[in-house]
Amino acid sequence: MPSVPTTSLDLGDADVVADPYPHFARERSHHEVAWHEPSGTWLTFSHAATGAVLRDRRLGRIWRDREPAAYLEPFNLLHRNQMMENEPPQHTRLRRAVASAFNRGHVERLRPRVQSLATELLDGVDPVSFDVIGEYAEPLPVLVIAELIGLSGADVPVLRSWSQAIVRMYEPEPSTKVVDAAVTAATEFADHVREHLDRRRTEPADDLTTDLLAAGLSDDELVAAVVLLLNAGHEASVNVFGNGLVGLLRHGHVPADPQGTDLPVVVEEMLRFDSALQLFERTATAPVELGGVVVEEGQQVAALLGAANRDPSVFADPDEFDPARRPNPHLAFGAGVHFCLGAPLARMELTESLAALFTAYPDLQLAGEPRSRGTFVLRGYAEVQVSGTVPGPGSSGGSRRHRPSAP
């Protein structure tokens, strides 16, 4: 290969996982795109290069079965048959089957249910101290997507467990333990979905599964579609909420009016500030000029979304959490043909869950150091303890929960 910009950045290094943004800034100061010898992949560090990767149709999602293929077949089956790992026309056919469930009109019809679930979950927490991830941010979007698909709310804990085991495979160099757990989870998840599909064939209902059964997909495509919807339908929301809430609280930006019209702007900054999805890969199907280098046919390029969202050429003071940032052209949901199908639902869930939380607890604050999941690609927190109580003078503390008056 002719002389090109190179980087040895270790994406699995503990310092990078803990806080990748200073490392991205250092790389960006030298190059927009660099060859990463350890992985044999191009990495992008600028907003322009990352956006180009996401939009250029010559850079596609081309699935390759993980090896050993026979052992990993349960994991591979869920991916080779899903829309996120395919390009048009296959991608178009698979995406069309579920697109109507995520249009803005349908999402708006879900808003009252999201509001109701948020209230129910907050009614069950201890305001003195509670884990806002495990007790609120995790169960809410899983309940929403499970109901949309027609699964029982009682399935939420196991669905979340299967999802977390599968997505850990997306990290750099997963361990044998992670691989084994993903294979087990993929097998059990697929079996559970097949049983659900069989029930809906004889007992149709007003849910997305029944709609999918009429969409002309194969059995394996149906299973892959439902698993993708369950995984992608909540992973981003959980991690964006946790990452964004921590950034918001650390920077002292508690919403003054949690029911106000500015809250969606705060949500956009939560999406930008600490990206839940840090990396999305593409493969060149033809030579592509990108940020001053040429990505040859067959080479992979990893779009670093978190690096793009901290690019100072696009975002003023990018390392500051600015709840009034406008415009905010972040790439948290991707771009181009693979732009996140569930973005309208995620935005609505984030807005409503944030509004409910700060309406109930206007003095919310961190109650200890948040505990990271310890992953790079899907960045998030395993636990974030918060307190909704503020001790007054001569007081040992008391709940400041606010319940809106009945209309």
Q: Which residues contact 247 (CB under 8 A, 6 or more apart)?
A: 270, 273, 274, 321
Cβ atoms of 270 and 6 closer than 8 Å: no
Determine the pLDDT at residue 109.
87
pLDDT (tens, 9 = 90+) of the chain, 407 residues, equals 558 999 999 999 999 999 999 999 999 999 999 999 999 999 999 999 999 999 999 999 999 999 999 999 999 999 999 999 999 999 999 999 988 778 777 888 899 999 999 999 999 999 999 999 999 999 999 999 999 999 998 998 999 999 999 999 999 889 999 999 999 999 999 999 999 999 999 999 999 999 999 999 999 999 999 999 999 878 888 999 999 999 999 999 888 788 877 999 999 999 999 999 999 999 999 999 999 999 999 999 999 999 999 999 999 999 999 999 999 999 999 999 999 999 999 999 999 999 999 999 999 999 999 999 999 999 999 999 999 985 434 333 444 455 444 33
Determine the pLDDT at residue 1.
52
Angle at 195 between CA 108 and CA 134, to 5 degrees: 55
Tokens coding 215: 């969409």
Between CA 290 and CA 145 the distance in angstroms is 37
Q: What is the C-alpha R_g of the chain?
A: 21
Between CA 402 and CA 62 the distance in angstroms is 50
How far from chain centre, in Å, is Cα 244? Answer: 12
Q: Tell me: the pLDDT tens digits for 376-391?
A: 999 999 999 999 985 4
Considering the candidates 101, 186, 232, 276, report the single residue annotated as catalytic: 232
Determine the pLDDT at residue 402.
56
Considering the candidates 349, 353, 356, 360, report the single residue annotated as catalytic: 349
307 is a catalytic site residue? no
- Would you put residue 3 in left (φ > 0), alpha (ψ -120 to 50) or beta? beta
87 is a catalytic site residue? no
Angle at 302 between CA 314 and CA 61, to 5 degrees: 115
Nearest to 84, CA basis, from 155, 170, 17: 170
Tokens coding 195: 């049983």
Considering the candidates 284, 340, 346, 356, report the single residue annotated as catalytic: 340
Query: H/E element holding 222?
Result: helix 219-250
Q: Which residues contact 202 (CB under 8 A, 6 or more apart)?
A: none
Between CA 164 and CA 171 the distance in angstroms is 12
235 is a catalytic site residue? yes
Cβ atoms of 351 and 263 closer than 8 Å: yes
Between CA 298 and CA 285 the distance in angstroms is 6
Domains and CATH numbers, the chain: 6-387 (1.10.630.10)
Considering the candidates 46, 237, 372, 387, report the single residue annotated as catalytic: 237
Query: Cα dihedral sign for 162, 167, 169, 171?
Result: negative
How far from chain centre, in Å, is Cα 114? Answer: 18
Determine the pLDDT at residue 209.
93
Determine the pLDDT at residue 394.
35
How far from chain centre, in Å, is Cα 95? Answer: 18
Q: Tell me: the pLDDT tens digits for 236-250?
A: 889 999 999 999 999
One-letter amino acid at 96 equals R
Tokens coding 404: 């809106």
One-letter amino acid at 229 equals L
Determine the pLDDT at residue 350.
96
Query: H/E element holding 279?
Result: strand 279-284
Determine the pLDDT at residue 106.
80
Determine the pLDDT at residue 397.
40
Between CA 307 and CA 309 the distance in angstroms is 5
218 is a catalytic site residue? no
One-letter amino acid at 201 equals R
**Which residues pair with residue 53 across a beta bridge?**
none
340 is a catalytic site residue? yes
Count Cβ atoms within 10 A of the Cβ of residue 104 and give its class: 0-12 exposed, 13-18 middle, 19 or more buried: exposed
